[in-house]
Amino acid sequence: MEIALVDRTAGVPKEVLESVPTKLETLHRHDHCLEKAEVKFIEHNNPRIEKKEQCNITVYGRGHVIRATAYGNDAMSALDIGINKLVHAVEKTFKPIDKTLRKAIHKRT
């Protein structure tokens, strides 16, 4: 899977940027479906915002575009929350449909 990193902050620590590919390996079960991932880090400078770091993760694969946005106090926590959201969304998207569910959907139409 091809990974693109975009940093629009004062500077995300190298440890966070280096951990992105290892954290995206949690999608290894769906690796044959996923072609490209894009991770963006954005820092909000508004003093009223408590969680200043934002992490946007977009995954492209097999005609699907799946996005997850997460906010955190630091870049690593935002990345962890975003990865958890993304794993849930990818599993929901590429999950096989039950035969009983297919029959129920077919009967309704």
- Give the CA count within 13 Å in the CB-facing half-sphere of 32: 2
Q: State the Cα–Cα distance between residues 53 and 14, nearest whole angstrom.
A: 15
Q: Which residue did the predictor score with more confidence, 29 or 35?
A: 35
In this structure, are residues 46 and 78 in contact, taking their beta carbons and an 8 Å threshold? Answer: no
CATH class assigned to 2-108: alpha beta
Q: Is 2 helix (H, G, I), strand (E, B) or coil?
A: strand
Query: According to the model, what pLDDT value does residue 98 have?
Result: 64
Domain residue ranges in the chain: 2-108
* Segment 35-52, tens digit of pLDDT: 999 999 999 888 888 898
Give the predicted TM-score (pTM) of the model: 0.81
